């Protein structure tokens, strides 16, 4: 019995010691200056990222399109100059539905709620679920050899 009481009192003492050290540690932390913000130049993680396709095997016909690397590439005209292509975000701004080029209607349409956009990214029709969408991001493109590259900004 006495031994148990001794152990209990020892345990209570240890608990008080731990609590005291924790409180003092917490107290000193509260006096620390606020964390400094990360150094400049952080910005968005995907800024400057690129997506590319090979024009030797992809987008060989006017009206064809392909989504890769978060970019929807569309061939609007013949020839391999940047003016023959457009590159937009591949996911619908509304809720992330896949976007497709509808050549017969000359527009981009979402597969989820049928919102529609021009090849320049402007909204032609809002989603059919009563929600609203935003204009598409349109990316700059460059061509090197047969490789068409979009730079995601």
Q: For residues 153 and 47, is the Cβ–Cβ distance under 8 A? A: yes
Structure tokens at 150: 């979009």
**41 to each of 34, 38, 44, 48, 140, how far by Cα in Å?**
20, 9, 9, 13, 22
Q: Is residue 107 within the footprint of ligand FES (CB under 6 A)?
A: no
Structure tokens at 35: 């964390």
Q: Is residue 109 within the footprint of ligand FES (CB under 6 A)?
A: no
Segments in the chain forming alpha helices (H):
2-30
Min dist CB 128 to ligand FES, Å, is: 7
Which of 58, 95 has the CB closer to ligand FES?
A: 95
Stretch that binds ligand FES, among 42-50, 60-68, 70-78, 89-97 (CB under 6 A): 89-97
Q: For residues 119 and 63, is the Cβ–Cβ distance under 8 A? A: no
Residue of 88, 133, 141, 149 interacting with ligand FES (CB under 6 A): 133
Q: Is residue 90 within the footprint of ligand FES (CB under 6 A)?
A: no
Q: Is residue 127 within the footprint of ligand FES (CB under 6 A)?
A: yes
Q: Tally Cβ neighbours within 10 Å of residue 73.
A: 27
Report how many residues bind ligand FES under the rule CB under 6 A.
Answer: 11
Q: Is residue 116 within the footprint of ligand FES (CB under 6 A)?
A: no
Q: Which residues bind ligand FES (CB under 6 A)?
A: 92, 94-97, 110, 112-113, 115, 127, 133
């Amino acid at each position: 019995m006495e031994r148990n009481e001794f152990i209990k009192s020892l345990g209570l003492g240890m608990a008080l010691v731990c609590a005291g050290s924790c409180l003092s540690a917490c107290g000193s932390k509260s006096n620390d200056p606020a964390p400094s913000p990360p150094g400049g130049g952080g910005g968005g993680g995907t800024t400057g990222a690129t997506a590319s396709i090979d024009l030797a095997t992809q987008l060989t016909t006017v009206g064809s399109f392909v989504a890769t690397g978060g970019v929807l590439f569309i061939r609007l005209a013949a020839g391999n100059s940047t003016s023959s292509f457009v590159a937009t975000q591949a996911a619908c701004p509304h809720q992330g539905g896949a976007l497709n080029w509808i050549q017969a209607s000359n527009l981009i349409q979402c597969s989820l709620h049928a919102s529609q956009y021009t090849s320049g990214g402007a909204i032609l029709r809002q989603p059919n679920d009563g929600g609203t969408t935003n204009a598409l991001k349109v990316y700059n493109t460059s061509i090197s050899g047969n490789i068409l590259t979009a730079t995601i900004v």
